[in-house]
Every structure is written in structure tokens, then in C-alpha cells.
Structure 1
Amino acid sequence: MPLTDLTLAECLALRPDLDEPADLDAFWDRTLRAARAAGGTAAFTPVDTGLTQVTTYDVTVPGFAGEPVRGWLHLPAGAGGPLGCVVEFLGYGRGRGLPHEQLLWANAGYAHFLMDTRGQGWSTAGGDTPDTVSLNGDVPGFLTRGVDSPDDHYYRRVYTDAVRFVDAALAHPRVDPDRVVVTGHSQGGGISLAVAGLVPGLAGVMPDTPFLCDIRRGALIAGAPPYTEIAEYLSLYRDRAGTVLTTLSYVDAALLASRATAPSLFSIAMMDDICPPSTCFAAYHRYGGAKDLRVYEFNGHEGGGAHHRREQLTWVRERFTTPHLIADPGPSTLHDPQLA
């Protein structure tokens, strides 16, 4: 895989000037107020997975407009509480899957909330959380659904679901609300950055090769989907570029990340043609809180894989067991395990 974007030195020096809507904060304040006002109560139903060391619950949380959002809650069996918690969001096209599939964080001793993504996933038609809004005129995929208006855009609903999912985690009796970290890979990384900008008081955020950052640049240079959905749409609707890019700016995670204050651990892969590294660095440079970075210079979209999971386990343990790291995460650092 050759480099298809800027070099590491160029990315480190990058300071993109992104177009930010004047009413971005008001838009999200209005959106989240409406979702919370819709009411509803999170439900947790025990699931028999056949496993003895992890206890699992089928989760339903009221999301955008109070609509049900599915997920899993995994708890280490027999552990006392309240526990540190990792809330995870999924990559593009993925659903929550089967309840026994993702047990890393529970095995590390933490509560693990895993959110289904509306309209995505394989387990049922449209996933376990269907998207109730059907808008015509989009190309295949999710990026251009409702792209003529910020109020109608697909990711307005997804980000709201994610905030409400974090609300449910913060309120759960087995969770310590002072020790909640959000994370995700690709689409999940972008969602985690957006949530970090929209929910104050988180203990940390861990975006891996995040999608939905500097979306305009992604549409111009990405060599593989999903960003190519935007270029495909605009190749058909040549007169809509201004409207489309304005709508997408309301869900650009690089803009929302500038509002975040929680400490962060980013991962970025320099040979990523799905989420080009310059777009990920746009979010990293604009991130509002303290930040650590792991660069994987010779990897594509898979990033650090299992090696980065080990980095995350160490990073979370330090923040959950050392109180001063939650309040004072220290200076930003850059570490590339492949260059060390």
C-alpha cells in the first residue's frame, strides 16, 4: 500500500481551516434537547450467552425522537460496582452482531456498552435498529441520506442516538459516571469524537482512524468508499455542492471535536485510503482537550489492530486507576510504534 495522501511531516504541520456553521452549537443544543424531551426509559434484558465470566444484557435506549436504539451491555460476572465503562460505536455498515462476539472490555474488568447503528448491520433487514426516515435521491450508502438539509441528515439521527446511549451509560447503577470513555473505529471513531464534543465530563475518548472528519477533503481525495459516496452524488447533482457540503459541516466530527475537553488517544494510519490520514489529523489538531497519538505509518484502514488494542487497554487502565489523569491528562504526545 503506497502513501496516497500527505506525508507524516506534512500531516503534523497541517492546520486546516474548516468551514464551520455559525449556528453549529445552537443546532446541536436544539437537537439534543428535543431528543431528551421525547422521554423514554432505557431497558436492560438479561441474555443467556452460555458464557460464565461475562454477564450480558440486551439494551434498548430511546434515541433520536425517542426511537428505540439497540445495543449490548457486557459486565464482568461477579464484579462489584460502580465500574469504569467503555462505550463503543461501530464501523460503517456494521451492526451490534451477536452478544458473545465483543468481550474485550468486560474481560478487562469494565462495563462495556456497545451501540447498534441505525439502519446498519446484517442480523435483520436494516439491522436491529432500523432507520425510520426514508429519503429518496441518495446514492447507495448513508452519507447522502437527507443531505439537502442538516435537520434531515442521517448522521444527525446517529449522533443523537450515540449521545442518548452515553446518557444511559452514565445513569446506569453499575457504572461510575466519572469513569466513562467512548471509543470506536472508523465510523465509530467519528461518532466518538462527535459525542466527546457534545457530552461534557467524559473521562476520555479513543478514536481509531476516524471517519467523518474534514468531510469535504475526504470527498475530494479518498480512493475508496464511504467518502466516495459524496463525489458520486455530486457527479449526478452538479448544482448541489454548496448545499451538500454545508449540510455535512453540521456533522463534521473535526468541528465537533474542537468542543471536547476529555483526554484523548487517537490512532491514525498513514496508508489509509478509506479515511485519508490528513482528514484524521484535521480532527486531531482541532481537538479541544489533551491528546495522545499513535501513528501506524505502514498500515491502511485497519490501523494498529491488536497492537493498538493493547495501547488502549493501558491508556484506559491509567485513567481509571490514577485520579489525577482524569482531571489533568498532561501534554499532548506523539508516539509511532513502527518508528520507535
Structure 2
Amino acid sequence: MPLTDFGLDELGDYRPKSTAPHDFDAFWWRTLAEARSQGGAVTADRVTARHLLRTVDVDDVRFPGWNGDPVAAWLLRPRGAAGPLPVVVTYIGYSGGRGLPTDHLLWSAAGYAQLVVDSRGQGHDTPDRHAGEGTQWTEGFMTRGIESPDQYYYRRLITDCVRAVDAVAELPGLDPDRVVVTGGSQGGGLALAVAGLAGDRVAAVLPDVPYLCHFRRAVQISGDGPYQEIAKYLRWHSRHRVEPAFTTLDYFDGVHFAQRATAPALFSVGLMDPVCPPSTVYAAFNHYAGEDRTMTVWPFADHGGGYGSNPPVQLDWLHERGLGTEL
């Protein structure tokens, strides 16, 4: 992939004007209050033997998400580790779900607990039961309910992700004061949203090549990936729906969540990424409210970012901030 966005010098200074809707905070306070008012129990069933794993314990977790809907997650912990453990809450990339426990062994191998959160409607274990409340204009999820912030798909998914952090306090053996949120692409955008909404209950955030940031520019210049679902929708409805669509998207833009997030943050970016253009990642990074923020740059990377080279960077960074595990 060639370079198709700003150069690195320009990206470092790229801080586009970005103003959240006047009722942004009220919208999310109301949304999360409504979800929490639904109640619901957090459950965890031990399923280690089913997956023939010897060095980790695996629990099949359900916790209440948006509207109290049960959301699936895996909880993985190093077997025999003395708690309470720091926990890495992991959100998943676009069109994926929590998969299998064997997909997620890195963090437990490094001594962390890991809560892997299913994505409603995208994974197999958490249906989006309220999908019919908003129109879906294209394949995928980007235009599902786009006519209204209240009906938009990501209102439900982001709420699930915040409620996953709520659930940590109810799961034994985890340290609610050492919660790290992370993910790549869509998962990175969701981690940013949680960092902005959950406040000091997040100890660190690791957004890799984050999606859901700087929507207007992303829709205009991305050469691949799901932003094109929005472009396709606007292509056919451009006369009347451009501003209403972006008005909805403003409530879910990672730049606005970044402006409210203060936890130490380690971003990553691929300078040849056609899915999440580098300027959209830097828009969130340069607006990030926390003083401790670092960008890992992969100059010749596409949307895979640093691939297998990125986890060692994350582990070192967490240890430097006292969020590592005992060796």
C-alpha cells in the first residue's frame, strides 16, 4: 500500500477543530444510567476442561449490557496465579466476535487476567435483539439506525463495552484498580470510547489502529473497509441525509471520547493503512486529554499495524507504568 495521507511531520501537528454535540455528555450519562437501571447478574462458568488448556483457567462469562441484554465474554487467567490480577478488557475488530479461548492466550501467558468481550450482532454468542429499531441501509453495521443517535447500533455496542468494565468488580480474583482496555481497529475505537466514559476506573488504554475516529475525514478518504458503508449510503441519499448522518455519528466519534479520557494511553498507527487513515488516528491522539500519551508508529504498515511486533511494546509500556505482573 502506498502512502495516501499526510506525512509524519504533518500528522504530529494534525489537530482538526472538533466540537462534540452540546448534549454529548448528557446523552451518554442517560444511556449508561438506563442500562445500569436494568440490573442483571454477572455469571461465570468454568469451561477450562472443554478446551483442553493446561496453563490457564477459562470462564464463560455473561454480564448485563445495553437494556440489560446478556453479553458474552471469555475470562482467561493464568492457572494458579494469586489474585487480585490486573485485567485486560479486550474489544474485537469489525465483524468479529469473542471467538474461542484459544484465540486469546497472550495476556494470560504474561500473567494478566483477560476479559474478551463479544460484539453484539457481530459475534455468534450475543445477538443484537434491537436491530429492528433502526434502518440498516447497507450490509454491515455502520448505517444500522443512523437516522438517530438513540437508535444507532454503536450506542448499544459502546454501552456493552462500558458495562464490561462494570462487570470486572463483580468477578473474583480481578483488581478493579488495574483495568486496561484495548483492541484493534473497531476494538481500538471501542477502547477509546470506554476510556472517555468510564473515567478513573480505567488505568490505561491501548487503542491499536483505532476505528470510529474523525468520521467525516475517514468517510472521505478511506480506500478500504467499513467506512465505505457510510459513503455508499450517502451516495444514494446525499441530497437530504449527509448532515443528519454526521450529526448522529458525532455522538460516537472517538475524537470526542478522547477529549474526555485521561488514563495513560498507548496508541498505534500504520502509515499505509487504507482502512483507518493515519490522520483519523492522529486526530484522536492529538485531542487526547491525558498527559501520558504515546504513539507507536509503523511506517510501512497497513491496517495490521505492528502485527506480532506490537504486543512486546505494549507489555513494556505497561510495566513502565506499574501495570505489569510479577515475574
TM-score by length of 1: 0.91
| Corresponding residue for residue 270 of structure 1 | 271
| Corresponding residue for residue 74 of structure 1 | 76
Q: Describe the SS at the equivalent of 1:100.
A: helix
* In 2: Cα distance, 1:170 partner to 1:269 partner: 35
The Cα offsets for residues 160-211 of structure 1, whole Å up to 9 and x where unpaired, read as 0000011111332211111110000000000000000000111100000000
Equivalences for 1:187-202 in 2 at 5 Å? 187-201=186-200, 202=202
| Corresponding residue for residue 244 of structure 2 | 243
After superposition, the Cα gap between the structure-2 partners of 1:321 and 1:244, relative to the gap in structure 1 and judged at 3 Å, is closer
* In 2: Cα distance, 1:314 partner to 1:270 partner: 23
Q: Which moved more, 1:106-115 or 1:131-140?
A: 131-140
Could you list the runs of 5+ residues in structure 2 that have no partner in the other structure? none
| Corresponding residue for residue 285 of structure 2 | 284
Contact residue 222 and residue 273 of structure 1 kept, 8 A: yes
- Match for 1:195: what amino acid? V
- Match for 1:314: what amino acid? D
**Runs of 4 or more consecutive aligned structure 1 residues displaced over 3 Å after TM superposition:** 320-323
* In 2: Cα distance, 1:252 partner to 1:71 partner: 25
Equivalences for 1:23-172 in 2 at 5 Å? 23-47=23-47, 48=49, 49-121=51-123, 127-133=124-130, 134=132, 135-172=134-171
Contact residue 214 and residue 252 of structure 1 kept, 8 A: yes
| Corresponding residue for residue 262 of structure 2 | 261
Shift of 1:18: 2.0
Contact residue 13 and residue 286 of structure 2 kept, 8 A: no
* In 2: Cα distance, 1:41 partner to 1:315 partner: 34
Please say if 1:185 is aligned against 2:181.
no
Contact residue 186 and residue 211 of structure 2 kept, 8 A: yes
- Match for 2:128: what amino acid? D
State the Cα RMSD in Å.
Answer: 1.3
Q: Describe the SS at the equivalent of 2:102.
A: coil
* In 1: Cα distance, 2:181 partner to 2:80 partner: 24
Shift of 1:137: 4.2
Q: Describe the SS at the equivalent of 1:171.
A: coil
- Match for 1:273: what amino acid? P
Contact residue 82 and residue 175 of structure 1 kept, 8 A: yes
* In 2: Cα distance, 1:293 partner to 1:137 partner: 35
Q: Describe the SS at the equivalent of 1:310.
A: helix
Contact residue 56 and residue 79 of structure 2 kept, 8 A: yes
* In 2: Cα distance, 1:214 partner to 1:74 partner: 33
* In 2: Cα distance, 1:46 partner to 1:61 partner: 15
* In 1: Cα distance, 2:303 partner to 2:267 partner: 14
Could you list the runs of 5+ residues in structure 1 that have no partner in the other structure? 122-126, 324-340
After superposition, the Cα gap between the structure-2 partners of 1:237 and 1:35, relative to the gap in structure 1 and judged at 3 Å, is same
* In 1: Cα distance, 2:170 partner to 2:262 partner: 20
| Corresponding residue for residue 303 of structure 2 | 301
Shift of 1:319: 2.6
Shift of 1:101: 1.7
The Cα offsets for residues 265-299 of structure 1, whole Å up to 9 and x where unpaired, read as 00011100000000000000011112011101111
Contact residue 203 and residue 262 of structure 1 kept, 8 A: yes
The Cα offsets for residues 225-276 of structure 1, whole Å up to 9 and x where unpaired, read as 2111111001111210111000000000111111011000000111000000
Q: Describe the SS at the equivalent of 2:93.
A: coil
Contact residue 135 and residue 143 of structure 2 kept, 8 A: no
Shift of 1:322: 7.8
TM-score by length of 2: 0.95
The Cα offsets for residues 118-155 of structure 1, whole Å up to 9 and x where unpaired, read as 0113xxxxx21111122334111111100000000000
Q: Describe the SS at the equivalent of 2:244.
A: helix
Identity within the alignment, %: 50
| Corresponding residue for residue 332 of structure 1 | none
After superposition, the Cα gap between the structure-2 partners of 1:321 and 1:90, relative to the gap in structure 1 and judged at 3 Å, is closer
* In 1: Cα distance, 2:302 partner to 2:103 partner: 24
| Corresponding residue for residue 18 of structure 1 | 18
Contact residue 83 and residue 110 of structure 1 kept, 8 A: yes
Q: Describe the SS at the equivalent of 2:139.
A: coil
